Amino acid sequence: MTIEINDPETIALIRLLAARTGDTDEGAVDAAVTTALGALGGRGTSYRERRNARVRARALEAEQPPSPQSV
């Protein structure tokens, strides 16, 4: 999956985090997302919230262009 980030401020924050942690940009994003999800802890565990999260994830996947098929 590819994520395209066009906001210069967000890119700068990712690069700053990567530089401070000694990680790659991708590693910094992964660590930040993992930390944010961990901070949520038990929140967002109701059936309704899990269903809404699945719907949002599917909508994001549908927005992605299809990946080229190798032959």
Query: Tokens 């719907």 — which residue?
Result: 55
The share of the chain scoring above pLDDT 70, in percent, equals: 83
pTM, whole model, 2 decimals? 0.56
Cα separations (Å) of 30 from 27, 49, 55, 70, 71?
5, 22, 21, 27, 31
Condensed to tens digits (0 to 9), the pLDDT of residues 39-68 reads 777 665 677 777 888 888 888 888 777 666
| Cα–Cα dist 3/9, whole Å | 16
